[in-house]
Structure 1
Amino acid sequence: MKSTARVKDAPRNQEWLLTLLPIFPLVLLVMRLWYASRQDTQTLLLLLQNISPLGLLSAVLLTTLWVLPALILGGRVLGTLYWISTGRSSWLVRAAERLPGWVVALAVVVGLFTWQLRFLPTLAMLSLTVLGLTVRDRFPRNEGLWAVVCYALPVTVAVLSYIVLWPAIGTAFAAHDVATSLLLTLPQGLAVLLTGPVPRVPARGLTHGIAAAMAVLTPFLVGAVVMKAPILPLMALQLSEDERPRVLVGYLVASDDQMSTVLGRDGVVSFVRNDRLESKVLCPDFGEVPRTWANLYGWYVEQSVVSWLAPAPPPTPVDPRCQGRPKD
């Protein structure tokens, strides 16, 4: 059946959906500032007055870089799987059909560079599943090509993946890290089982249920990541006092010739006169504490390809002022 048969009954006059696209990022930005202000309206207005929108948009864009590949590949897999299993069209099939091949390929490349090491087997599983289902759809009578793409290729990739990832897999099992162990071992082994149709009766509930769950949970996942993204530089200011110096650690909101405005990590806003300022230092962003030390030749499973390949800064001792202690 030609691909046009799948999209001929596509609904029209849905351009109004495009107007909703800017709303979600704007809501995330406002919620991020609301979270940083500890739900205080006056602090929120102060942040809105001084924070650059580019800093807020960068957090949303960086999050989108790793969310979009999952949505594109997941939608393509579910839509094509439902089509070859039932031969019937639906909104999911139409959405998958409207994703060009170059968009899917670009999603794989973006995911390869932005996803963490522990998620790369899942990326390989999705990529092989998309390829296998596409071959079954485009070449319905070429069983020889099916055998190569749908069976031989996933098995080969799985074997090579286990060989390459074995040091990280062994470390994860030795550390009793169940989640990382499953992420490094299961996806590539399941790829060979996902390149064929599913029974016709549960196909709609399975594919459309997963797609609906993705649509509902993705905004909450993106929001949770953006809520923790830094939007202001973390500074340590050493202030002169009558008896001994005092260190104020917080996020620098604004600074001019006379006054510096600092948002403390407890949500309290402090206005510091510059004549009391002895010194200040930019504190490092420690980020999240690693949940596991499993690594592949120094490439930790919580690192992406980009962060692993980027030159690491030389190790320097932590300034005592960043820990709230005055520096002599």
Structure 2
Amino acid sequence: MKGAGRVKDAPRDQEWLLALLPVFPLVLLVMRLWYASRQDTQTLLLLLQNISPLGLLSSVLLTTVWVLPALILGGRVLGTLYWISTGRSSWLVRTAERLPGWVVGLAVVVGVCAWQLRFLPTLAMLSLAVAGLAVRDRFPHHEGLRGIVCYALPVMVAVISYIVFWPAIGAAFAARDLATSLLLTLPPGLAVLLTGPVPRAPARALTHGIAVAMAVFTPFLVGVVVMKAPILPLMALQLSEKETPRVLVGHLVVSDDEMSTVLGREGVVSFVQNDRIQSKVLCPDPGEVPRTWVNLHGWYVEQSVVSWLAPAPPAAPVDPRCQGRPKD
């Protein structure tokens, strides 16, 4: 993407954009605490006083691990596609140009490790589109290389993808899981269509419309994920009572020598004296309920490569105290 006079000088006096970079994570963190406090100001102040900022930032960082590859690859594909189709520059083209090749390659590696199995065909489609469009842009007169990268390679990858994922595709259709079926079948076949130019007339509306939609909906998607991320350990405290023991299940805010502060699941804050605590146990994270049981040789489509390769410990029986029942 090195056309003469094609890229205009970058607008100046935009240092204020750098000042806005930390604003979005800070807003997410405050909203997460506001959500956890059930919109109660006093509870919010209590959480702000005792929660470590590192724990809050970890939820945002873990979210960006899988969001950034999508933004980088999507921006590179849309910007290069618009330039090849029209030969005109725009903010989208300039953004794609400023993404170095090593950043795109790193985004692919991160996506392979962090994305779920059902999104890997989409990752392969975006990677092939980036490679094909780069060849069209840098080697416009090299017919042999263009035929290999833009046509032969996507077709070969599509055939291999359908062979490898066929058990999961069949299971998804059998379970009537439309979303998983489309994610496993459509991207490999569409890869060959994204390596070439689109008609000049709708090129701007298509590429820039998708880019604007990504820019608008990505913060909302990240916000939804962060709102559900755990920020406090889930504990079950068995308390001594006059008649029968009582179990208090909630998130431990702070604990000192005399008292423990617990935020209940319903948002009620309880202050418990430590001498009343008979026992306590760390409860497992309930996590998200699986939306599909489709798997590929035991690798469920909602699992990432990292979670599939990491040795999973044997499932321990759920402690009755985590279910609100006293333990004898």
- Answer yes or no: is 1:80 the counterpart of 2:101: no
Question: How far apart, CA to CA, are the structure 1 residues paired with 2:149 and 2:44?
Answer: 55
TM superposition outliers: structure 1 runs of 4+ over 4 Å? none
Question: How far apart, CA to CA, are the structure 1 residues paired with 2:3 and 2:326?
Answer: 69
Q: CA deviation at 1:4?
A: 5.3
CA contact (8 A) 1:6 1:93 kept: no
Question: How far apart, CA to CA, are the structure 2 residues paired with 1:263 and 1:3?
Answer: 59
Matched residue, 1:210: 210
- Answer yes or no: is 1:297 the counterpart of 2:304: no
How do residues 109-124 of structure 1 correspond to structure 2 at under 5 angstroms?
Answer: 109-124=109-124
1:18-55 per-residue CA deviation (whole Å, 9 max, x = no partner) reads 11100000000000000000000000000000000000
CA contact (8 A) 1:235 1:283 kept: yes
Question: How far apart, CA to CA, are the structure 2 residues paired with 1:191 and 1:103?
Answer: 21
Matched residue, 1:94: 94
| Equivalent position amino acid for 1:151 in 2 | Y
Matched residue, 1:54: 54
| Equivalent position amino acid for 1:120 in 2 | L
CA contact (8 A) 1:6 1:94 kept: no
More off after superposition, 31-40 vs 8-17: 8-17
Matched residue, 1:220: 220
Q: How has the CA–CA distance of structure 1 residues 266 and 4 changed in structure 2, closer, same or farther, with 3 Å as cutoff?
A: farther
Matched residue, 1:143: 143
1:250-284 per-residue CA deviation (whole Å, 9 max, x = no partner) reads 00000011100000000000000111100000000
The unaligned stretches of length 5 or more in structure 1 are none
Secondary structure of the equivalent of 1:303?
Answer: coil
Q: CA deviation at 1:12?
A: 2.0
| Equivalent position amino acid for 1:224 in 2 | V
Matched residue, 1:270: 270
1:99-129 per-residue CA deviation (whole Å, 9 max, x = no partner) reads 0000000000000000000000000000000
Question: How far apart, CA to CA, are the structure 2 residues paired with 1:233 and 1:70?
Answer: 31
Secondary structure of the equivalent of 2:5?
Answer: helix
Question: How far apart, CA to CA, are the structure 1 residues paired with 2:4 and 2:279?
Answer: 68
Secondary structure of the equivalent of 2:313?
Answer: coil
Question: How far apart, CA to CA, are the structure 2 residues paired with 1:105 and 1:119?
Answer: 17
Question: How far apart, CA to CA, are the structure 1 residues paired with 2:2 and 2:245?
Answer: 77
Q: What is the TM-score when the length of structure 2 is the normalising length? A: 0.99
Secondary structure of the equivalent of 1:6?
Answer: coil
Matched residue, 1:322: 322
Q: CA deviation at 1:2?
A: 3.0
How do residues 1-328 of structure 1 correspond to structure 2 at under 5 angstroms?
Answer: 2-3=2-3, 5-328=5-328
1:148-198 per-residue CA deviation (whole Å, 9 max, x = no partner) reads 000000000010011111111111111110100110110011000110000
| Equivalent position amino acid for 1:282 in 2 | L
Secondary structure of the equivalent of 2:284?
Answer: coil
Question: How far apart, CA to CA, are the structure 1 residues paired with 2:301 and 2:138?
Answer: 36
Q: How has the CA–CA distance of structure 1 residues 276 and 138 changed in structure 2, closer, same or farther, with 3 Å as cutoff?
A: same
Secondary structure of the equivalent of 1:32?
Answer: helix
Q: CA deviation at 1:73?
A: 0.3
> RMSD of the alignment, in Å?
0.9
More off after superposition, 28-37 vs 7-16: 7-16
Question: How far apart, CA to CA, are the structure 2 residues paired with 1:7 and 1:320?
Answer: 65
Question: How far apart, CA to CA, are the structure 2 residues paired with 1:265 and 1:6?
Answer: 57
Secondary structure of the equivalent of 2:11?
Answer: coil
Q: CA deviation at 1:143?
A: 1.4
Question: How far apart, CA to CA, are the structure 2 residues paired with 1:210 and 1:5?
Answer: 26
Q: CA deviation at 1:6?
A: 2.9
Provide the aligned length of Structure 1 versus Structure 2.
328
| Equivalent position amino acid for 2:296 in 1 | L
Secondary structure of the equivalent of 1:241?
Answer: coil
Q: CA deviation at 1:213?
A: 0.5
The unaligned stretches of length 5 or more in structure 2 are none
Q: CA deviation at 1:145?
A: 1.0
1:211-267 per-residue CA deviation (whole Å, 9 max, x = no partner) reads 000000010000000000000000000001111000000000000111000000000
| Equivalent position amino acid for 1:241 in 2 | E
Question: How far apart, CA to CA, are the structure 1 residues paired with 2:150 and 2:196?
Answer: 8
More off after superposition, 164-173 vs 128-137: 164-173
More off after superposition, 263-272 vs 11-20: 11-20
